[in-house]
Amino acid sequence: MYRAVELGHVIAGPFAGLLLAQLGFDVVKVEPIGGDPTRRDDVMGDSIFVFLNRGKRSLALDLRKPEGREVFLRLIGRSDVLVENLAPGALERLGLGSDALFRANRNLVHCSIKGYPSGGAKSGWPAFGTLVEAVSGVMWSNGGARLPASITDMGAGLYCALTVLWALLGRRQGRYEVSLFQSDLAWLGYYVIALQTLGRVFEASGDRLPFWAPYELFKTADGRIYIAVANDAIWARLCKALRTEACSDPRFATNAGRVQHREELHRVLEAETSRYGTDELLRLLLQHDVPAAPMLDIKAAAADEDAPWDLTSAGGKAGVRVPRLPLPGSLDGARAPEVGEHSREVLRELGYGEREIELLIGRGVVKP
């Protein structure tokens, strides 16, 4: 089994560690004596921490103390991977820069998640995911809205986990960097290409895909439904389903025409969709092979029986459902660790005797 040390906090680093845990890695989460700040959020409770840290072991360690750094480097020496998302220069200030890490383990795969590429003009900027969305073009492309949950941070964590797997597969030890900024910019890849080849900037569009139409939300008699017409063949099938006046309008005969006259098209179609209940309209559209789906709130999505779920404990409750990660392996039944829950266990694995462990605890280097 591979061992990964996660020196992560909040979202990006812990999400990379979560992916590795599901894939069967022994993930040792090294956290401050007081624990990861998401353990005790005064609005979200422990929801964030539980989701991101299931199936890991916790070693609570004070890296500001020389003995803490010694423990950490011994752990690195007996591990395969280090994942971290500390601020630029933080490891170096602790005396744990690349020289120290690779002296401890020359075969280490180190993935460092940063907000912006190191050495760039923005490398020292604060880098919460939403700030990166603002400067990367993602927020503008999303109609001025932030992405839900923490998709930017999780995207960087996903790229980090993939980088780790690639490095281990090819035995390519070394330090690798993933930035939230580059992760976000990569999502916009075909927009960037279109800007250069077509000279077009697709305006922020909210629920609408700006280059296909109709590809957006429509009101129904009792809710809203998303209809996705990706080509003229689907448009023909939509016309058979709804028999709307738009189908005989030459302005809407091609996708380019539908995009150009989108507002009028939406008005005409919505006059028809609003006559149906959501379930009724969904059945009609699916019968005609028109891609469509109702817009559900989080309560409905969380009750969906088609989705696979894992069970965990959170907020003092057992049997809490968590969306299963679409990966091999399983975290079903796994819970997030208490602060330092596995400190003694990990120290024993590193060769520390009981007396040494008690001394480290007594000096505040380790929390059991």
CB 96 within 8 A of CB 69: yes
* pLDDT value for 206: 84
Amino acid present at 19: L
Within a domain: 210: no
Contacts (Cβ under 8 Å, ≥6 apart) of 269: 214, 218, 227, 242, 244, 246
Q: What is the pLDDT of residue 203?
A: 77
User: How much is the mean pLDDT over the chain?
Assistant: 96
Instruction: Give me the CATH number covering residue 221.
Output: 3.30.1540.10
Domains held by the chain: number? 2
Q: Which residue range is the domain that position 220 belongs to?
A: 215-295
pLDDT in tens, 191-246: 999 999 999 998 777 899 999 999 999 999 999 999 999 999 999 999 999 989 99
pLDDT value of position 241: 97
142 with 267, same domain: the answer is no
Among 295, 322, 350, the domain boundary falls at 295
Q: Are residues 245 and 363 in the same domain?
A: no
Is position 195 within any domain? no
Q: Which residues neighbour 300 within 8 Å (Cβ) at sequence distance 6 or greater?
A: none
Is the domain of 73 the same as that of 183? yes
For residue 26, report the phi and psi dihedrals to the nearest 5 degrees: -80, 105
**Domain-embedded: residue 201:** no
Top pLDDT among 204 and 352 is at: 352
User: What average pLDDT score do residues 67-82 get?
Assistant: 98
Cβ atoms of 227 and 239 within 8 Å: the answer is no
Whether residue 239 lies inside any domain: the answer is yes
For the stretch 90-149, pLDDT in tens is: 999 999 999 999 999 999 999 999 999 999 999 999 999 999 999 999 999 988 999 998
Q: How far apart are CA 228 and CA 212, in angstroms?
A: 8
Half-sphere exposure of 1 (CA within 13 A, CB side): 11
Copy the structure tokens of residue 11. Answer: 């979202």
pLDDT at 248: 94
- pLDDT band at 349; cut points 50, 70, 90: very high
CB 243 within 8 A of CB 259: no
Sheet-wide strand order for 224-228: 215-219, 224-228, 292-294
Q: Are residues 123 and 258 in the same domain?
A: no
Is the pLDDT at 309 greater than 80? The verdict is: yes
Band of residue 285 on the pLDDT scale cut at 50, 70, 90: very high
Buried b (16+ CB within 10 A) or exposed e, 151-185: bbbbbbbbbbbebbbebbeeeebeebebbbbbbbb
Which pLDDT belongs to residue 49?
A: 96
Per cent of the chain over pLDDT 70 is 100
Q: Within this chain, do residues 221 and 91 fall inside the same structural domain, yes or no? A: no
pLDDT score at 256 = 97
Shared domain check, 350 and 222: no
The domain boundary residue, chosen from 249, 274, 295: 295
- Helix, strand, coil distribution of the chain in percent, nearest 5: 45, 15, 40
Read off the CATH number of the domain in which 104 is found.
Answer: 3.40.50.10540
Residue 300 belongs to a domain: no
Domain assignment present for residue 55? The answer is yes
pLDDT tens-digit map of 316-334? 999 999 999 999 999 999 9
Closest CA to 83 of 34, 129, 18: 18
- Does 114 share its domain with 32? yes
Of 243, 268, 295, the position where a domain reaches its end is 295
Tell whether 232 is covered by a domain.
yes
pLDDT (mean) for 247-267: 96
Residues 317 and 286 grouped into a single domain: no
Based on the fold, state whether residues 229 and 261 are members of the same structural domain. yes
Residues 70 and 176 in one domain: yes
50 CB contacts (<8 Å, ≥6 apart)? 312, 313, 314, 315, 320, 322, 335, 336
One domain for residues 340 and 249: no
Q: What is the pLDDT of residue 204?
A: 75
Q: How far apart are CA 85 and CA 270, in angstroms?
A: 46
Report the pLDDT value the prediction gives residue 202, as an integer from 0 to 100.
Answer: 85
* 280 and 340 housed in the same domain: no
